[in-house]
Structure 1
Amino acid sequence: MSHNYELVYILRPDLTEEQVQQVVNKYRDLLIEQKAEDVQIKIWGKRRLAYPIAKHQDGTYVQVNYTGDGTQVAAIERAMRLSDEVIRYLTIKLEQKKSAAKASESVQADKAEV
């Protein structure tokens, strides 16, 4: 069964744009190797961190949305944990959206109970 995931990671601020693109491509390729589908990447750019991480005040934020069976999470997080470029990462599993028919059925059922 496929689930939707959102991964946000922060890269060191001293990386050039070319190096950032290489890192983003590396993790995109890793997800595709792990059979992730519908991989969408948004580079937010360099932003101020809420608090210093590894003595860095800024970082380059990258958001990745993908669909997979869950095995991709361990592989990508292990690669990021071992990487020198990534200073922080977080993966969350997004809720499945209800279909319009199921949503209207649950609303009608709630009204019937009242």
Structure 2
Amino acid sequence: MPQPKYELCLLIDDNYIDNMINRKIIENEFFAKKVIVKESAEEALEDLKKGQYKPDVIFLDVRMPQMNAFEFLKEYEKSKPEGNSPMIYILTSSLDPFDHRKVMESPFVTQFLYKPLTHQKLEEINL
């Protein structure tokens, strides 16, 4: 059995079906030992602030109710936990060029990916 590349992956998306599919792909590809799924960016941010877990990788949807990716990244920057920062990948179905440009302005965003996750996308992350 292959060893996962990462200890912990945090998946933040308000869509239950997308979470189910993406979690399965992450697990099947041995991308991370553990996957934590949050359907609320606020809840994920609170957990990160409290230090409840320290993900190596975060997959973040752009458009979510209450707190979207832009708001999450702004708040994350204000309260970034000490130590190594996780790699944050925007995982979205949005084709809006504004979303892409705006999200990539954040120093915390590693890459912009389109849904769904695939074997190939995870392989590219592992390079």
With structure 1 as the length reference, what TM-score do the two structures score?
Answer: 0.30
More strand as a share of residues: 1
Task: Specify which structure has the bigger relative contact order, considering alpha-carbon pairs within 8 angstroms and separated by 6 or more residues.
Answer: 1
Bigger Rg, which one: 1
